[in-house]
Structures are given as C-alpha cells and as structure tokens.
C-alpha cells in the first residue's frame, strides 16, 4: 500500500498538470460510469491528500469530489496520453496527460461535506500544514497497544505506513513493543517532528531515504540497497542482515498482520532523545 508521501505527490501532480482545465472523465471498465458522466467536460479545480486518501475536486454542483483510496493493489498512473491498457476504473484526460486508476479500494463520488468528514476523521497528517499532532498523542496515550502498532493507526498519524513506522522507531532507538500509554509527550513530539522531516523528504524525492549521512553506502563502503521501493533504510525489509549501526542482525515479526522490523541491539529505549 502506498505511504502518504506518494498520495501527496499524486495530488500535487494532478493539480499542477490538470488544475483549472476542462477534462474528459470516463470509466473504461464501467464501474464508475454514471459518476464519471457527470464530471465529463468539467473543470478540474485541483486535488489534495490526507493520509492515504486522495480527493479530486471538479467545478460542478454537488457531489463535486472524487474520493480515492488505493488500498493494497490500487494504482494511479499519470502519463502522456496513450492507447488504453489494463482494467481502468477511472480515466481523467486533458488531451495531453491522462490519469489512469486501476484496482482501488475506493473510488466514489462525494459531496464537500463528505470530503470534510474524510479530513476530520483522519488523524494528523505530517505532510499537511493544518495537522495537529496533539490529536494523535491523545489517542496514543490512552492505548495499551504497542507503539509500533499505533504508528500504523491512521487516526494517530495519517499516511504513515510500514516503512516510515519501522524507520522512525529505529532512528530514535525506540523499543517497538512499548505500550502507547508509556510514551511521554516529548517522545511523541520527537517522533512527530522526524516524521514530518523524512516524509517531506520522501515527497520531494519520490523515494524513502532514512539513513543519516554517516551510514550511507559511500561512507560505510558498502553496496547500495537494491529494492523496488528504492532508498536507503535502516531496518525495513532487512531482516537477517547486519544493523548498519551496531552490527546485530535485524529482526522481523508479524504484528497485526504486517511485518515489523527492528534492531534488538539499538532499539531499547522507551523515551526518545533529540539528536
């Protein structure tokens, strides 16, 4: 499932390329045909993201938004206009560029009031200027679940997925199994501030890099990471490999249906320290 920075990049791309233009909207697959016909020929106002939700606005009477959640297998490609391929739920074209949606968990037409509900029901998003991290801390501090599990709760930190979860915990040497109610406000603020930093970097670069300068391949004299997700990371999908910091083997375990990665040598703290 794409993490939040990917959805924000898609929203920005759509707004930049198609914003304020009349667009053609259809559903080649047929499952969004009625909704698409209402929007066909309308002006695409712009797009925004909150967490893993993509919201696209059109200049039409209500309902004027398309709400997309890609889920585990959904894909949204934005590319030059070309012959159609694959099962496309939604196609938006300005004549030069086309956005092609396939396999989403959700693709629905909603009102502005419903769009507001999506925003308000999501947790704080580190990539949104209107985010209030205190909302996330209030939920986290009441829970006995592990910090690792809670960081995947979209009501606590919207847009954070398995990669950012694993990496931010490692970067601050935090024990993944620490109950949320044992995490103090200072530690949460340090986690939040670092999520803002590394997710903004992911948004800018289009890849996730979490390794500090002193642990880069060229500094450590090691081979660069080869992975379809790209980027240099400390623990994500590195189970059985040596920790880049202490040399212990990185571990993994299933936690609430997702693989959790951590270093048993480095991650022993309950409280974060600013570096």
**Active site amino acids:** 2-3, 52, 258
Q: How far apart are the first and last CA of the chain?
A: 30
231 in Cβ contact with 199 (< 8 Å): no
Residues 6+ positions from 134 with CB-CB distance below 8 Å: none
Give the β-pairing of 106-110 and 65-69.
Answer: antiparallel
DSSP 268: -
Cis peptide before 63 (omega within 30 of 0): yes
CA 238/CA 122 separation, integer angstroms: 30
């Amino acid at each position: 499932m794409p993490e939040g920075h990917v959805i924000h990049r898609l929203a920005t791309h759509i707004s930049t390329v198609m914003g304020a233009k009349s667009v053609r909207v259809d559903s080649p697959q047929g499952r969004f045909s009625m909704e698409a016909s209402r929007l066909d020929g309308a002006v695409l106002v712009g797009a925004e993201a909150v967490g893993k939700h993509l919201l696209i606005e059109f200049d039409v009477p209500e309902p004027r938004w398309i709400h997309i959640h890609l889920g585990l297998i959904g894909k949204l490609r934005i590319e030059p206009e070309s012959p159609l391929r694959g099962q496309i739920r939604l196609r938006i074209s300005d004549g030069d560029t086309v956005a092609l949606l396939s396999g989403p968990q959700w693709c629905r037409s909603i009102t502005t009031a419903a769009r507001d509900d999506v925003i308000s029901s999501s947790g704080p998003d580190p990539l949104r200027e209107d985010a209030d991290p205190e909302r996330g801390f209030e939920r986290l501090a009441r829970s006995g679940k592990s910090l690792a599990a809670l960081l995947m709760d979209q009501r606590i930190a919207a847009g954070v997925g398995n990669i950012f979860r694993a990496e931010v915990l490692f970067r601050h040497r935090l024990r993944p199994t620490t109950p949320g109610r044992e995490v103090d406000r200072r530690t949460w603020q340090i986690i939040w501030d670092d999520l803002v930093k590394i997710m903004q970097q992911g948004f800018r670069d289009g890849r996730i890099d979490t390794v500090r300068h002193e642990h880069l391949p060229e500094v450590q004299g090691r081979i660069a990471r080869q992975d379809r997700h790209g980027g240099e990371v400390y623990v994500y999908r590195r189970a059985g490999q040596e920790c880049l910091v202490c040399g212990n083997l990185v571990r993994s375990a299933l936690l609430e249906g997702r693989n959790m990665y951590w270093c048993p040598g480095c991650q022993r703290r309950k409280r974060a320290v600013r570096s």
